[in-house]
Amino acid sequence: MSKVTEVDIALSILDHQLVDSDGQNCGKGDDLEISGLDGDSPEVVAMLVGGNAWRSRGRLGRLAARLSGNAVHVPWTEVDSVTSVVTLKRPATELRLNRGDEHWASIVGKLPGS
Amino acid sequence: MTLKNVLAVALGIFAAIGGFVDIGDLVFDTQAGATFGFQLLWVVVVGVVGIIVYSEMCGRVSAVSERPVFDLVRERAGFGAGLSTLIASEFVNLMTCAAEVGGVALCLKLLSGLPYRLLIPLGVLGLVVTCWVLPFRWIERVFGYLGLGLLVFVVAAIKLHPDWGQVAHGFVPGSHSGGSLLVYLYFVVGILGTAMGPYEVYFYSSGVVEDHWSLKDLGLNKVTAIIGYALGGTLAIALIIVAAVLFLPSGISPQFLGTPALAAEHSVGQVGLLLALVGMLFAVGGAAIETSFAGAYSLAQFFGWKWGKKERPAAASRFTLSWLVIFALAFLVVMSGYDPVKLTEYSVIFSVVALPLTYLPILLVANDRAYMGESVNGKLANFLGGLYFAVIVAIAIAAIPLMLLTNGGQG
C-alpha cells in the first residue's frame, strides 16, 4: 500500500472478501503471514488463501485443511486497498487465485449455453 | 408507482410467495388452523413483522456495502463459527429443497393425474432448465406472479363467512383451548420458523446484489420488504382461516399437501381448485429454486468464490455446480421415499435452530457506521432488531425439545 493507514488486521483483513483488479471475487483472507512478531514492528508479509491456510482456524479448520491442497500466498505488496473488501492490484489468474473455477469449468463448460 | 417499480418489487413478491408462503406454510398453517382454529393468527403477525425487519435490514446492508449475508457471517463470526453455520444451513437448505421438490411433484400429480414417482424427475428437470435458461429477473417475475394464484385462498376465506369476531380475537395472544400447551407452543415455533426461515434472507440479500440495488434503491428495498411479506402474511392468515372453518369442526387433520387445494375447490369451485394448484406449484417451485440458490450463495460467499446468475455458468463454475448438486441431492432424498410433509416439519424446526447465527451478523453490521455510513440502523430498527433477536434465541432453544415432547405436534 502506498500510504500508511491504520488497519485492524484481525477485523479488516482476516475473513474478508478478496477482489482482483477486474472486480472479480477471488477468495477470502484465510490467514496472514506476519514477520517480526518478536520485535517491535511486526509486519504483514502475505495473505494465505484457501487450502491448508485453514489449519490455524480451529478444529473444523484443521479438518477442512486436511481435506484440501496448499494455500496460495498473496504477497502484501499486491494489495491495492482495504475497504469492506481487500482489493488486489492484479487479475486473479496472475496471482494463481480462482483456480478452482478454472478446474470445474472444464465440466460445466460442456453444458449447452454455459 | 411506475411500471419499472412494479416490476422491481418482483424480488419482494418472489421472496414472499416462494420464501414466505412455501410448503412450510401450507403444512404448518393448515395444521395450526385445523388444530387450534383462529387462536394462532397472532403468531403470523409476529412472524411477518420479524421477517420485514430483518429483510429490510439485510437488503439495506447488501445495497450499501454490496456484501450479502453469508459474507458477513464469515466476517463477523470468523472461520470456525462461520463454517458451523454454513454446515448447519446447508443441511437445512437441502432438507427444505427436498421438501419443496416433493411438493412440486405432488402439485403436478394433482394437476395431471400422472404417477408421483414419475413427476419427481420431471419436476426437478423443469426447475433446473428454468434456472439455467432464465435470467434472475425473469425467474423472480414468473414464479412471483404465477404464485399469486394462491390469492384464491383469500377469496375462499372470505366466502366461507368465518365469525369475524372470533377471527379478530385470534390476533390477540392469550389463553388457548383445543390442545395441550406444548402442542400450542410447537405450532408457535413452527409458524415463526416458517415465516422467518434463514434461506429467505440468504436469498433476498443475494438477490439485492444480483439486481444491482444501490443507495438510491433503499426506498424500494423498504417498500419491497413490506409489500412482499405483508402479502405473504395475508396468504398465511387466509390458510389458517380456511383450515379453521373447514377442518376443525369435522376433525380433519390435514396430512396431505392437497388438502388446502380441496378447501379452495369447496368454496370457489373448479376454477378455485385450478388457481390454488397453480399457485401452490409456483410458490413451492419458487421456494425450491430459492433454497438451492441460497445453498449455492452461502457456499460461494463463505469461500469467496465468484457467484451469481449474472456470471456465465462456466465462469462461476463452482457456484453453478453447487446449485446443480443441491437439486440433485434433493432429488435423491425425495426419490428415496421420504414423505414431503414430514420432511417439511423437520426442515422448519431445524432451520429455527440455525436462525440466531444468521441474524446476529446482520444486526451487528447494520449498526457499523464504517460499513453503513448514513444508512446505519435507526432507533426503531435497532429496537425491533434486538427484540426479535431475543425471540429468535428463545425459539431456537425451544424448537427441538418441543418437537420431541409433542411427537411433531401430534400431542
3-class DSSP state of A37: coil
Provide the CATH number for the domain around residue A22: 2.30.30.240
pLDDT band at B7 (very low <50, low <70, confident <90, very high): low
Query: Looking at the domain assignment, is residue A2 inside a domain?
Result: no
Cell of B262: 380441496
Domain assignment of residue A57, given as a range? 9-108
Number of domains in chain A: 1
Q: Does B117 touch chain A if contact means CB atoms closer than 8 Å?
A: no
In B70-111, at which residue ranges do the beta strands (DSSP E only) sit? none
In chain A, which residues have their Cβ closer than 8 Å to the Cβ of B366?
none
Query: Touching check for B145 and chain A: CB below 8 Å?
Result: no
Q: At what angle do helices B198-210 and B270-303 cross, to 10 degrees?
A: 80
HSE, side-chain direction, 13 A CA sphere, residue B133? 7
Residues of chain A contacting residue B371, judged by C-beta atoms under 8 Å apart:
84
Q: Closest to B79 (Cβ–Cβ): which among A18, A54, A104?
A: A54
Domain boundaries, chain B: 13-405
Q: In chain B, which residues have their Cβ closer than 8 Å to the Cβ of A104?
A: 317-318, 321
Distances (CA, A) of B204 to B199, B217, B290, B398: 8, 14, 9, 27
Q: What is the C-alpha separation between B128 and B122, in angstroms, rounded?
A: 10
The CATH T-level fold of domain B13-405 is Hydantoin permease (1.10.4160)
Q: Is B400 left (phi over 0), alpha (psi -120 to 50) or beta?
A: alpha
Name the DSSP letter for residue A16: P
Do the domain assignments include residue A21? yes
The whole-angstrom distance between A9's CA and the closest CA on chain B is 12
Q: What strand order describes the sheet that includes A79-82?
A: A25-28, A17-19, A86-88, A79-82
CB B339 within 8 A of CB B402: no
pLDDT tens-place string over residues B142-173: 888 888 899 999 999 999 999 999 999 999 99
In a domain, residue A4? The reply is no
Find the mean pLDDT for residues B208-213: 86
CA distance B400 to B411: 15
Contacts of A53 in chain B (CB under 8 A): none
Q: Quick one: how far is CA A58 from the chain centroid? A: 18
The CA distance from B113 to B124, in Å, is: 18
Q: What is the mean pLDDT of residues B270-299?
A: 94
pLDDT of residue A2: 44
Write out the residues of chain A at the interface with chain B, using a CB-CB cutoff of 8 A: 14-18, 24-28, 30, 49-50, 54, 57-61, 64, 84-85, 98, 100-105, 107-109, 111, 113-114
Residue A114 maps to a domain: no
Q: Which of B83, B133, B318 is closest, CB to CB, to A100?
A: B318
What does the alpha-carbon distance between residue B391 and residue B23 come to, in Å, rounded to a whole number? 23
pLDDT tens column, B330-342 = 999 999 998 888 8
Q: Determine, for residues B304 and A54 on separate chains, whether the beta-carbon distance falls below 8 Å.
A: no
For residues A43 and B123, the model is more confident at B123
Find the length of chain A. 114
A86-88 vs A25-28, strand pairing mode: unpaired
Residue where the block lists cell 440458490: B293
A-contacting residues of B 149-168, CB under 8 Å? none
Q: What percent of chain B has pLDDT above 70? A: 95
pTM of this structure: 0.92
Of B74, B133, B306, the CB nearest to A28: B74
User: How far B248 CA sits from the closest chain A CA (Å)?
Assistant: 48
Q: Identify the CA nearest to B184 among candidates B45, B56, B42.
A: B42
Of the partner residues B133, B303, B314, the one whose CB lies closest to the CB of residue A109: B314
Q: Is residue A81 part of a domain?
A: yes
DSSP assignment letter at B147: G
Please say if the pLDDT value at position B134 is more than 60: yes
The answer to whether position A23 is within a domain reads yes
Neighbours of A44 (CB within 10 A): 16
Distance between CA B69 and CA B118 in Å, rounded?
Answer: 37
ipTM of the complex: 0.91
Looking at residue B259, its pLDDT comes to 85
**What are A18-27's pLDDT values in tens digits?**
999 999 999 9
Pick from B227, B216, B213: which is nearest to B48 by CA? B227
- If we measure between CA atoms, which residue out of B333, B335, B342, B343 comes closest to residue B122? B335
Question: Is A1 inside any structural domain?
Answer: no
Bridge partner residues of A86 (DSSP): A18, A82
Tell if the CB–CB gap between B318 and A61 is shorter than 8 Å.
no
Instruction: Name the residue among A26, A14, A45 with its Cα closest to residue A94.
Output: A26
